[in-house]
Structures are given as C-alpha cells and as structure tokens.
Amino acid sequence: MSSDNVLEKTTRVNLLFDFYGPLLTEKQQTFLTCYFLDDLSLGEIASEFAISRQAVYEHIRRAEATLESYEEKLGLAANHERRTELLDSLKESLAVWDPHEGDMAKQQALACIEQLEQIED
C-alpha cells in the first residue's frame, strides 16, 4: 500500500472513530487508539497485551469493518464532510458578495443554505 493510501486510510479511520468510537467495544477502541492514534506497530501492541500480532490485526480489521458498517448505515461522517464543504462555499460566496453589483454570490449563498438544510432532513 502506498504512503498516500496509508495516510488516506488512517485519516478515514480517525474520522470514523471520532463519530462512532464510543459504539465500539473497549478492546476495539484500545487497539484502534494504539494503532492509528499512538502509531504503535502490530508487534508493539501484541507485546503490550501479550497476544499475537495476528490477533491484534484481526481486532483492528474487525473494528475498521464495524466503523465502516456504522457509517454505511448512519452516514454521520459523510454528512459532516458535506456540511463542511457547503459552509466553505457559503463563506466564499459571502466574502465576494457586493449588494451593489448584483446578486450571483447571494444566490450561491442561498443555494448553499438550502443544501445545508436538506442534509439535516
């Protein structure tokens, strides 16, 4: 796996962990924290908990699958990302809006607000 993919995966797991971490078992939370947040290797985690590297790998893999399952069903992270994009777009539209020169930026801002409202439904 390339370093870009590893970074992408780590970022994704951390985002999902922020939303769904409390729904995981204590062991899953601990192993994900050690691996993704504390940057410990499988061997270091295995040594710390006196289990095999394979067991650590399986716990982490299952925890990742559980996080993805929660996201598939609830979509909290996707909604968060979409809201963030729309808010950034709204800020950009309002930054260039001049009430004396037309209302294209105003229309874009209103469209962003409408889309934000729809995310909440």
Asked whether residue 82 falls in the same domain as residue 67, the answer is: no
Q: CA 17 to CA 116: how far, in whole Å?
A: 24
Say yes or no to pLDDT of 27 above 80: yes
Q: Are the C-beta atoms of 32 and 24 separated by less than 8 Å?
A: yes
Say yes or no to pLDDT of 22 above 60: yes
Asked whether residue 30 falls in the same domain as residue 60, the answer is: yes
Q: Sorting pLDDT into bands at 50, 70 and 90, what band is 17?
A: very high
Neighbouring residues of 64: CB distance < 8 A, sequence distance ≥ 6: 13, 32
Specify the pLDDT at position 18.
95
The per-residue pLDDT for range 73-116, each reduced to its tens digit, is 999 999 999 888 888 888 887 777 777 766 777 777 778 788 88
Sign (positive/negative) of CA torsion 3, 17, 38, 63? negative
Work out the average pLDDT over 21-50.
96
Asked whether residue 58 falls in the same domain as residue 84, the answer is: no
* Owning domain of residue 67: 3-74
How many domains is the chain partitioned into structurally?
A: 2
What is the amino acid identity at position 84?
T
Asked whether residue 10 falls in the same domain as residue 30, the answer is: yes
Say yes or no to pLDDT of 61 above 90: yes
Asked whether residue 8 falls in the same domain as residue 66, the answer is: yes
CB atoms within 10 A of CB 17: 21
